[in-house]
Structure 1
């Protein structure tokens, strides 16, 4: 269970969430390690654009009838139009996605259709829930090595049209190795493993979920996400019979403009506590629809380049990618991996937990969030300050890039410096990354 001091802080934080608050400019006293990171160099790998679509309800929302290639096309088109860069100058496009059956083909086709010349190559990569972040790391590494000057990373997922396949193993060496077999466990089962094996209570999980739901609902209502969301026009099939939504025979095609996250569910502890287990086979299963990330569709894009190139093109630098860390844990405890990846990336960056201004940690399940908060002492006033995946959703391949768009947007509003993103990864892995931006002395959109 969460520590008493953490619970007390949460109660105080929850009350504060109901009141407007002002964000002060970043403190002028920074650690020497952060000061060193803020020294810009011509060869730095920097981000000049970070955008996302709205997150929509899987199988029910505005992207339910939007194919993965259409979703990717919309994100690439928006990035092309808003980048301020001639698309012919982009030297590589890397997409991160989990379950599209032909990701490289659809990435290549979508990029050309979105206005990138046919000399711009593409690559599709898949490290499950971190795929969007791995796309960013891939582009960043290519720039750092001097292979390219400009690259675009995109994370996307249509969980409506490409649901998670059930992994199938056949080799006897795998089938007789329990840890190997655990790699195929449904993610919800791993949440129950964490809750059971580490004695995490349903109440603690629901309390954390309430914090995420409340913060996300208030952030959305106050327009806090507007700067990072690009509108997407698409079509939705509306059934003739509203009472039978799955029957799309003679369905009507309706054009919609998607601009707002759709999965937000303002909640109460009473309401959350009444929800039934999503995995009743667990007996006292503690993971529910209210304290787990929902099935979601969405996309995000991050444009990276060498700092000298950004200056040459007259582009605003949003942040610098400092480093990324990837690690592994026991597959049955998949969700606890950020508690290993975060210390690893802090060490690589040469900074401490206290140097981080904002944490964006993917809320796959409340069980893993409670574990990581207790294990690392993550500060709730810096953690997922506008809510996380429990409220917004977790389109698998999209999340790593979405966290960057959300985190950098908020970092700019607060005029702060250090963002750390992290997520657990299916089959028992975890990733984390550090980004820094230079302060301008201005706080934008200061009240929430």
Structure 2
């Protein structure tokens, strides 16, 4: 039996997040985007021999079509990594990227690997939420016990808003604050160190020359944050999820495209390759909740992850609580009495977007860079998960 050893993050990067269907990455294949993310992550550790990577674990919430065929392995090959590096795609919906990090860390902690890659990728432009041909078991509809599995995510947020008495006004105020924090963070360059630029091609027909002209531009800024968001504009939006509902497009996460990649290493690998650790992986927990109130999942996962790390809520300096919906974020914060000043200091998915299986890795990159930049000790990444789950992971600055 091998001794448990520490797993460290030595590189953390992400793409900027693009609006699904109309943003800069709408025509960028997710496997190509993943390949670029992998390439950039390796530039952060130039002394690391890529052949030393044991395996890559990549999260993807809808692993089909352009995201199918084991996108982890395809992305590795497109990214130019050696054929010897294996790849596996994992899916736990919105926590897929975070789960990939935890699984990679576990391989190192039990001594099965010294260098691992973890991350997530999602193109909601090319593969819609739910996939192209979703099919639910008829048994789900036979009784009330499991009917929550069939609920749309927006309806589950309405259920949370009703049960936890989260007002429309509070949801809109929370959404506005997300945009304001994200805009301020962009202006201050808070995301610069974690985002890698993507060269994007814009094609147009040149009728005079009878050819397609290609113009390239660099995409390196999250597209979601809006400086013109106001309480007045948010109040005009209607809920598409329930009659007289309070959950709207304005106080919900944005559908998005993006990718994030982390490189993890053991202490042995750090010494061998002269690497500088950014953070230590401390713990990960996932807990189930009723599917019809899936948004409350972090309320159960956060205490579980803290227990595994031997920490309390007060020990966490930075919470990346993914804003799937303002209603569920507020319900979690109020139930656990989280310090609002520590939650999403740079905004989150309402402003910055939520590319499903990539979000856990993207938010982890943000948290890890914040640990270094702010010289704080502990950060947590947590989110609710479709079909009724919550996940949470904790990182400690080195």
- TM-score, normalised by the number of residues in structure 1: 0.83
Indicate yes or no: 2:31 matched with 1:69.
yes
Matched, 1:194 2:157: no
CA distance in 1, matches of 2:145, 2:378: 36
The residue number in structure 2 matching 1:363 is 323
CA contact (8 A) 1:179 1:331 kept: no
Match of 1:423 in 2: 383
Task: Tell me the SS of whatever aligns to 1:73.
Answer: helix
Q: Which residue of 1 aligns with 2:104?
A: 139
Q: CA deviation at 1:132?
A: 0.2
Pick the aligned partner of 2:10 from 48, 59, 62.
Answer: 48
2:238 paired residue among 276, 293, 298: 276
**Partners of 1:277 and 1:195 in 2: CA distance:** 12
Shift of 1:303: 0.5
Distance in 1 separating the partners of 2:9 and 2:88: 19
Query: Shift of residue 169 of structure 1?
Result: 2.2
Q: Is the 8 A contact 1:71 1:158 kept in 2?
A: no
Distance 1:62 1:334 in 2: 31
Distance in 2 of aligned mates of 1:311 and 1:274: 57
Matched residues, number? 386
Conservation of the 8 A alpha-carbon contact between 2:34 and 2:79: no
1:206 and 2:172 equivalent? yes
Partner SS, residue 299 of structure 2: helix
Counterpart-to-counterpart distance in 1, 2:237 and 2:137: 37
CA contact (8 A) 1:103 1:124 kept: no
> Distance between the aligned counterparts of 1:307 and 1:416, measured in 2?
22
2:47 matches 1:87 = no
| 2:199 corresponds to 1:233 | yes
Query: Quick one: distance in 2 between partners of 1:384 and 1:235?
Result: 32
Residue pairs, 1:158-169, within 5 angstroms: 158-165=123-130, 167-169=134-136
Contact 1:360 1:422 in 2 (8 A): yes
2:88 pairs with one of 114, 123, 137: 123
SS at match of 2:201: strand
Question: Would you say 1:154 and 2:115 are equivalent positions?
Answer: no
Greater fraction of residues in strand = 2
For the residues of structure 2 that align with 1:436 and 1:70, how far apart are their CA atoms? Answer: 31
After TM superposition, give the deviation of residue 107 of structure 1 in Å. 2.4
Asked whether the equivalents of residues 63 and 70 of structure 2 are also in contact (C-alpha less than 8 Å), the reply is no
**Within 1, Cα distance between the matches of 2:364 and 2:70?**
26
Whether the 8 Å contact between 2:32 and 2:78 is mirrored in structure 1 is: no
Q: Give the superposition deviation at 1:100.
A: 2.9
Q: Determine helix, strand or coil for the equivalent of 2:324.
A: coil
Q: Which range moved further: 312-321 or 179-188?
A: 179-188
The one-character-per-residue Cα deviations of 1:261-290 (angstroms, maximum 9, x if unpaired) are 1111122222222222233xx111211222
Q: Gaps spanning 5+ residues in structure 1: where?
A: 1-40, 241-249, 439-448
SS at match of 2:42: helix
Residue of structure 1 in register with 2:248 after alignment: 288
Aligned to 1:218: 184
1:388 aligns with 2:348: yes
**Equivalent position SS for 2:221:** coil
Q: CA deviation at 1:171?
A: 4.4
Once residues 319 and 10 of structure 2 are traced to their aligned partners in structure 1, the CA distance between those partners, rounded to angstroms, is 20
Structure 1: distance between partners of 2:334 and 2:264? 34
Q: CA deviation at 1:179?
A: 3.5
1:170 lines up with 2:154 in the alignment: no
Q: Distance between the aligned counterparts of 2:77 and 2:32, measured in 1?
A: 13
**After the TM superposition, which residues 196-345 of structure 1 pair with which residues of structure 2 at under 5 Å, given as runs?**
196-237=162-203, 253-266=214-227, 267-279=229-241, 282-345=242-305
Check whether the contact 2:31–2:78 (CA below 8 A) recurs between aligned residues: no
Structure 2 Cα separation of the partners of residues 215 and 283 of structure 1: 31
Deviations 1:344-368 (A, max 9, x none): 1111111111111111110000000
1:194-252 Cα shifts (integer Å, max 9, x gaps): 11222210001011111111000110112110000000112245699xxxxxxxxx986
2:71 is aligned with 1:110: no
Mapped pair 1:408 → 2:394: no
Give the equivalent residue in structure 2 for 1:442.
none
Contact 1:357 1:418 in 2 (8 A): yes
Asked whether the equivalents of residues 8 and 264 of structure 2 are also in contact (C-alpha less than 8 Å), the reply is: yes
Q: Per-residue deviation at 1:66?
A: 0.8
Q: Partners in 2 of 1:68 and 1:217 — Cα distance?
A: 26
Q: Distance in 1 between matches of 2:85 and 2:181?
A: 40
Structure 2: distance between partners of 1:62 and 1:252 = 17
Q: Offset at 1:253?
A: 4.5
Q: TM-score, normalised by structure 2?
A: 0.93
Structure 1 stretches (4+) deviating beyond 6 angstroms? Answer: none
| 1:277–1:287 Cα contact (<8 Å) kept | yes
Residue aligned with 1:434, SS: strand
Distance (Å, rounded) in 2 between the aligned partners of 1:113 and 1:234? 16
